[in-house]
Amino acid sequence: MIVLIHDLQGDQAERLVAGYGKDTVVVSDDGSIKHCLGCFGCWTKEPGACIIKDKYSSMGSLLGACRELHIVSECVYGGFSPFIKNVLDRSISYVHPDFRMREGKTHHRLRYDRPFQIYAWFYGEALTGNEQKTARELLVANSINMGCPVAEVHFLEDVAGLEVTV
């Protein structure tokens, strides 16, 4: 399965989603996502699931079941858009609260033994080299913590140039 997390709206969202098959789960912003509380209930009270009961509460297990994660995000100061960041925060149950050494650094122990590949498309007008470098480094850091390789990273001036081949 492919998990597509995107922050597009209207026609742009429809065009993007139309390029995906039936084995894709689409996570998009309908205005109902609640912010992560930082309570760690997904680790202590309900291991593997967010205690906030909405349609984003099973993001960790959803990532644990996918073979590819596709992220389409506006590049905001060299990072993810607020919605994408919120979804990724709500996915922290993908890992355990305790730590292990990986690639010479301390990272969370993995909950799932099925790594997925990460594909990312960042968009924004006149993205600077520093913004692109920061976004790439952030994505790589997230991928190491999740134990998943980054397959591709793309930077676009406009989502009109977005071409995703699945």
- CATH number for the domain harbouring residue 117: 3.40.50.360
Residue pair 64/42 in contact by the 8 Å Cβ criterion: no
Exposure class string for 45-84: b at 16+ Cβ within 10 A, else e: eeebbbebeeebbbbbbbbbebebbbbbbbbbebbbbebb
Tell me what percent of the residues of the chain surpass a pLDDT of 90. Answer: 77
The pLDDT assigned to 103 comes to: 78
Residue 165 has pLDDT above 80, yes or no: no
Assign residue 164 a region (left: φ > 0; alpha: ψ between -120 and 50; beta: otherwise): beta
Query: If pLDDT is split at 50, 70 and 90, which confidence band does 85 have?
Result: very high
The pLDDT assigned to 12 comes to: 93
Any domain includes 23:
yes
The pLDDT assigned to 28 comes to: 96
Query: If pLDDT is split at 50, 70 and 90, which confidence band does 61 have?
Result: very high
103 is in which domain, residue-wise? Answer: 2-161
Residue 76 has pLDDT above 80, yes or no: yes
Any domain includes 166:
no
Residue 104 has pLDDT above 90, yes or no: no
Any domain includes 6:
yes
Sheet holding 24-27, edge to edge: 24-27, 2-6, 68-74, 117-123, 150-156
Any domain includes 65:
yes
Any domain includes 92:
yes
Whole-model pTM? 0.94
Mean pLDDT of 60-64: 94
The pLDDT assigned to 162 comes to: 81
- The answer to whether the Cα torsion of 34, 39, 44, 45 is positive or negative is negative
For 20, 59, 84, the CA distances from 26, given in Å and listed in that order, are 9, 11, 12
Instruction: Count up the domains in the chain and report the number.
Output: 1
The pLDDT assigned to 159 comes to: 86
Q: How far apart are CA 162 and CA 141, in angstroms?
A: 24
Query: If pLDDT is split at 50, 70 and 90, which confidence band does 135 have?
Result: very high
Average per-residue pLDDT in the chain? 93
Contacts of 58 (CB under 8 A, 6+ apart): 49, 50
